[in-house]
Amino acid sequence: MSDNKIIKAIQDKGKTIEAEMSFFEHLEALRWHLIRAAISVVVFAIVAFFNFDFIFNTIIMGPFRGDFWTYRMLCKLGDGMCITKINGDIINTEMAGQFMLQINQSLLIGMILSIPYILWELWRFIKPALLEKERKAASGFVFYASLLFVVGILFGYYIIAPESISFLAAYTISPTIHNQFMISSYVSMVATITLILGIVFELPMIIYILASLGILTGTFMKKTRRYSVVILLIIGAIISPSPDFLTTMISTIPLFALYEVGIVVASMVEKRRAARHDEIMND
């Protein structure tokens, strides 16, 4: 009996060591995925740093110029919506302000440009743990997640950011107060809006993941649609600081569309899970 116990203890210890080795192997693999992702951010940040003159004057400061694409399109829609000048001046009050601005924004741009590669590294890490059917079902993860993020960034940059900037720059409580905006405040606002929209537009992908894990279903989303509408309206109002209903709806309509796409995605996953369950039961 004692010999059997010793043998069993050795076997259990061997399994434990094997499990520990497997864990550390996965940890080592994750470390290299993270290192490669970080390198991609640094490479893009360096490229952005040495091309910052174009990036700053053309892209970052774009929504603060009266000839920005969005404002020109509004002028074509009617004189009442036309914006030709943004009231206020951009200033810097810190000695190292402009230098730190260039570094910080270069890193941020590097991170944004690296998102597709970071998602690809994430996919490479989780792919070995998936079954063949799961791999096929999630084969377009990197493409669709990157596409939704880019669309969200563009929507925030061309629609929400210009609306917010034009409204806040024109808002005044007294003609004796002259608007002078810190460059850090302006850049932070543009970056925050665009990044938030980029993340919000990932809603269908988040729903897909939750539905695949069995946490969320299309049936549940349909039943709670009325409550979701209220939540999405609140999110739209937070994203856009302009108080008028039209601007809030411009911010919210894409969120409604993303939610409806999410319902379709969750319903498809739900049907696939049900079919897989039926196959198992029949077997």
Residues 6+ apart with CB under 8 A from 264: 218
Q: pLDDT 10s digit of each residue in the chain, 283 long?
A: 455 544 454 445 444 444 444 656 767 777 888 999 999 999 999 999 999 999 999 999 999 998 999 998 888 887 777 888 888 899 999 999 999 999 999 999 999 999 999 999 988 887 776 667 667 767 788 899 999 999 999 999 999 899 889 888 888 888 888 889 999 999 999 998 899 899 989 999 888 888 877 788 888 898 888 888 888 888 887 777 666 666 677 778 888 999 999 999 888 888 877 777 666 666 6
Residue pair 181/88 in contact by the 8 Å Cβ criterion: yes
The residues that bridge with 91 in the sheet, in sequence order, are 182
Report field, pTM of the whole predicted structure over 0.85: no
Q: What does the pLDDT read at residue 209?
A: 81
DSSP per residue, 189-251: HHHHHHHHHHHHTTHHHHHHHHHHTTS--HHHHHHTHHHHHHHHHHHHHHH----SHHHHHHH
Tokens of 164: 């917010």
Q: What is the DSSP letter of 173?
A: S
Measured CA to CA, the distance from residue 32 to residue 38 in angstroms comes to 10
